Amino acid sequence: MTVELKGRERVDELQRNGYRIIQDPERFCFGMDAVLLTGFARAREEDTLLDLGTGTGIIPLLMEAKYHCVRLTGLEIQPESADMAARSVELNGLSDKIKIVTGDIREADTIFQSASFDCITCNPPYMIGRHGLTNPDGPKAIARHEILCTFEDVARQTAKLLRPGGHFFLVHRPFRLAEIMVTLAKYKLEPKRMQLVYPYADKEPNMVLLEAVRGARPRMTVEKPLIVYREPGVYMQEIYDIYGY
């Protein structure tokens, strides 16, 4: 199937099920964090999944490729990104399984029914405030900085939309880990599993992967560290496996 490309858009291969994605380098292209999140997440074929802040739809596409969930939805506030995501869904012949909705995370509970999802994923903006931003309204700034929503907005909406016992998967930065844990607990999203991601074995972690369960009892498993690079330009085997190479 072919779809229309606009401006500087391109089609990239995802190395999964032959799936492809439409991206615009001048707006925002998905990064390793989204891919690692889908490798960390778990889902069943009968699950319904919501991805908050889906961007160009990378997480729903990879989650469908890996776990074949019965219904997947991506919510994205930027119309241009949502349009690219919708065209990527069409490009891969997945319109009957994946739906892209244009809307604000802060208003997600008015868009979707309460407690209607088995799994929610999110690769939220990591940075706080607008310090150092030359164009706060730009698509890259919105994706990286908490301009249009905060992590508390994400947690609040997740708690409303996730069914009791449902799973929340997210990727974030370790420097905000204490705040993230407190916020999850505030909304009764109990942290159950955590994995730190290190660029090299001798460097500090630069990502954290988390799984929380709505209404679960306290007890968290910390998984072994995930190391990205064996040496510059060469991934560890586990990373190749996650990418599907």
Is 98's pLDDT higher than 90?
A: yes
Instruction: State whether residue 198 is helix, strand or coil.
Output: strand
pLDDT tens-digit series, residues 214-223? 999 999 999 9
Average pLDDT, integer, range 132-150: 55
Average pLDDT, integer, range 182-194: 97
Domain positions in the chain are 15-243
Scored b (16 or more CB within 10 A) or e, 21-30 reads bbbbeebbbb
- Dump strand ranges (E) for the chain: 10-13, 20-23, 48-52, 71-76, 98-102, 117-122, 162-172, 189-198, 207-214, 221-222, 226-227, 229-231, 234-235
Tokens of 140: 């890259």
Residue 37 CB contacts under 8 Å (≥ 6 apart), including other chains: 59, 121, 123, 169, 170, 171, 209
pLDDT tens-digit series, residues 9-43? 899 999 888 899 999 988 878 899 999 999 999 99
Is 140's pLDDT higher than 60?
A: no
Query: 15-243 falls under which CATH superfamily?
Result: Vaccinia Virus protein VP39 (3.40.50.150)
